[in-house]
Structure 1
């Protein structure tokens, strides 16, 4: 990838320069990130969360809020005037559908939408989607843009849904899961570095790697072994965790200790299975 100029947009919705958010300097000395206006526009949600005694109850409150806000629960559809249930209704995009698609394949159209959300909110460009993306005029970029803009995923304020997932995740981490912690040690299994540009190599085991703008990690090293012969260990800032496997009681990523992490340049230690 030609230099640092391709890291991302000059603007974002988190109030810090994109180059800083994507840098090793931020990852080593992070500060909290907030997507502009999300908490202010959803004060009732965070008021409900403040009364939750534990994470499962907070998850129930969050799921109920999302159902009410975005019509995700079919039972909330009003009946016909004569009392009969409504017929087939228009498909409503859901953050859970995106997470399910990501779990099957991060290079799916659902994965493109999630990478597009990171680009929109944090300013960081993806570096891989089906193939290496090394410029905004290549085939890889064109495919990514076509898939991230698919109309079937953008009919229900899907980026706003993901904004709320991120802010709920940050609330849960800083309030209940890892209060007072700045980092979480996570692992990623890879077979090669096709998706990961090595920005700087200190020695055979230590390097700075440019992660895709959204990447899957796991909290369990044994699980990372299943995804590749090379295990990358990184100290991930809490502020750059967008989702984790115990955040909600029911979702498609429950089995692998999975974390969805905002990308950029990470200092990692590589070990071999």
Structure 2
């Protein structure tokens, strides 16, 4: 494989110059990252929440770790105490209820809804990968599509309990759990169904038949090809770097009802069209 292809990354128009993790956007969004991923960490998360991970280290049971994580999230972000956040219990819409679990459930129900917009904007902020598709292609910063997207995100984040910080910790816990449950693995073979070709930007064709594409900054994949077939007339597979997984339905059994669904952070990737 030519070195120039390995260095291929998302174009400058699809990334920010700054992000909030340990790798620049050009590196984490590159084809080279898919081939040889490394751990991604978000600024300030582990130093602030180290006691949580120290406690998780002592537990061998995944359900027990889930219980400890949820209890910690409720306590740290005061998710069960709206008045402590300065929010009235008498308002028509209690924005404090828009927490990380509601975000995930909203995404699993409709990734093109408000919750999906918030999560895609979170990826922009933390990893520097811009949203390329939300209900349709998003244009430049001054385009109507981009303006509408940003307005939807702002409305969704208004008066919430540190929602983006909740997702920071969710991502870090997901990475912790993947390392515990799948020790030594670097990739997962995942599948995605796609109907709109505009959501997938092809950049190169490899000799082995795979296609190098630019994925949207956040997409749903499945561990099951038949399940992926329900969401599009074209199904492709991808060796997905585990550091690119934001969350997955098996993370909290009984709370997230997706069928083997994974939320995957984007960038350049080689895919195989299954059918």
TM superposition score normalised by structure 2: 0.88
Aligned to 2:164: 159
Counterpart of 2:165 in 1: which secondary structure? helix
1:135 Cα deviation from its structure 2 partner:
1.9
Match of 2:189 among 160, 185, 189: 185
CA displacement, residues 38-87 of structure 1 (integer Å, 9 cap, x when unaligned) = 0110112111111111211111110000111122236x978xxxxxxx96
Q: d(CA) in 2 for partners of 1:255 and 1:91? A: 24
Matched, 1:269 2:266: no
Q: d(CA) in 2 for partners of 1:34 and 1:152? A: 23
- In the alignment, structure 1 segments of 5+ residues that lack a partner are 79-85
Matched, 1:29 2:32: no
* 8 Å contact from structure 2 (residues 118, 157) kept in 1: no
Matched, 1:101 2:106: yes
Q: How does 1:139-218 map to 2 (within 5 A)?
A: 139-150=144-155, 152-175=157-180, 177-202=181-206, 205-218=209-222
Aligned to 1:110: 115
Q: How does 1:42-81 map to 2 (within 5 A)?
A: 42-73=49-80
When the two chains are superposed, the root-mean-square deviation of aligned CA atoms in Å is 2.1
Match of 1:233 among 229, 233, 237: 237
> 100-109 or 121-130, which moves further after superposition?
100-109
Counterpart of 1:246 in 2: which secondary structure? helix
Aligned to 1:259: 262
Counterpart of 1:194 in 2: which secondary structure? helix
Match of 2:133 among 108, 116, 128: 128
TM superposition score normalised by structure 1: 0.89
* 8 Å contact from structure 1 (residues 7, 19) kept in 2: no
Change in Cα spacing, 1:167 to 1:211, as seen in structure 2 (3 Å) is: same
Matched, 1:249 2:222: no
Q: d(CA) in 2 for partners of 1:151 and 1:223? A: 29
Change in Cα spacing, 1:137 to 1:63, as seen in structure 2 (3 Å) is: same
Change in Cα spacing, 1:193 to 1:248, as seen in structure 2 (3 Å) is: same
Aligned to 2:7: none
Q: d(CA) in 1 for partners of 2:105 and 2:258? A: 12
Change in Cα spacing, 1:187 to 1:237, as seen in structure 2 (3 Å) is: same
Q: d(CA) in 2 for partners of 1:153 and 1:34? A: 26
Matched, 1:38 2:41: no
CA displacement, residues 157-201 of structure 1 (integer Å, 9 cap, x when unaligned) = 1110000000000000012x2111111110001124121111122
Q: d(CA) in 2 for partners of 1:171 and 1:40? A: 15
Counterpart of 2:198 in 1: which secondary structure? coil
Change in Cα spacing, 1:32 to 1:114, as seen in structure 2 (3 Å) is: same
Counterpart of 2:150 in 1: which secondary structure? helix
Counterpart of 1:144 in 2: which secondary structure? helix
Q: d(CA) in 1 for partners of 2:250 and 2:177? A: 10
1:205 Cα deviation from its structure 2 partner:
4.7
- In the alignment, structure 2 segments of 5+ residues that lack a partner are 1-9
Counterpart of 2:264 in 1: which secondary structure? strand
